[in-house]
Amino acid sequence: MANSDSSTNPSLAYDDDPSRRDVILIGAGAFAAIGGAVALWPLIDQMNPDASTLSLASIDVDLAPIDEGQAITVMWRGKPIFIRHRTAKEVEEAKDVKLDDLVDPLARNANLPDDAPATDANRAAADKEPWLVMIGICTHLGCIPKGQAIGDYKGEYGGWFCPCHGSQYDTSGRIRKGPAPENMYIPPYAFTSDTKIKIG
């Protein structure tokens, strides 16, 4: 019968050497981990926003071509931004609304504290009250309300009307009637000159 003692059989001594086996296993595991990371990197990297998206983190808008009573829509971060040059009548109607008559008493203005009341002064552009800049998304189910085009039905309050479920907003973008729970949101923006704003 052959002797199976590792001292007389060098191949058995080689296989049973725990320190050498551990080094090989650790090396193979590290190689596999590095290979896996290299293979996954393109998949992870593709989730980063591309250069065109990053460039839209803020946009500049020239308001000079917008006459009183007109409105435009621009895109910012994939969202429609409603910009309206309100008439003096629209401004006065918005100012005359009592806070107790509002569904949502908060301004929802990213440029003000979260608890700022929904007065027209807190919704309109600071020191430029005819200008209203807001995210044009209904706060009910995310639809885009009508009211930007001249022929659009603007609802009972002369602002915006969401045809999906009947939410109606006033000339300050505040919810007045319908299922929407909150006023339309005001994005972060600032005037960079008398006729230009930067959104974002």
CA atoms within 13 A of residue 147's CA, in its CB half-sphere: 32
170 within 8 A of 158, measured Cβ to Cβ: yes
**Would you call 28 helix, strand, or coil by DSSP?**
helix
In whole angstroms, give the CA distance from residue 114 to residue 46. Answer: 35
Among 178, 176, 170, which Cα is nearest to 84's? Answer: 170
Supply 102's token pair. Answer: 């509002």
In whole angstroms, give the CA distance from residue 32 to residue 37. Answer: 9
List 165, 188, 190, 196, catalytic entry? 165
In whole angstroms, give the CA distance from residue 148 to residue 160. Answer: 8
Strand order of the sheet with strand 167-170? 158-162, 167-170, 175-177
* Residue 165: active-site member: yes
Residues acting as catalytic residues: 165
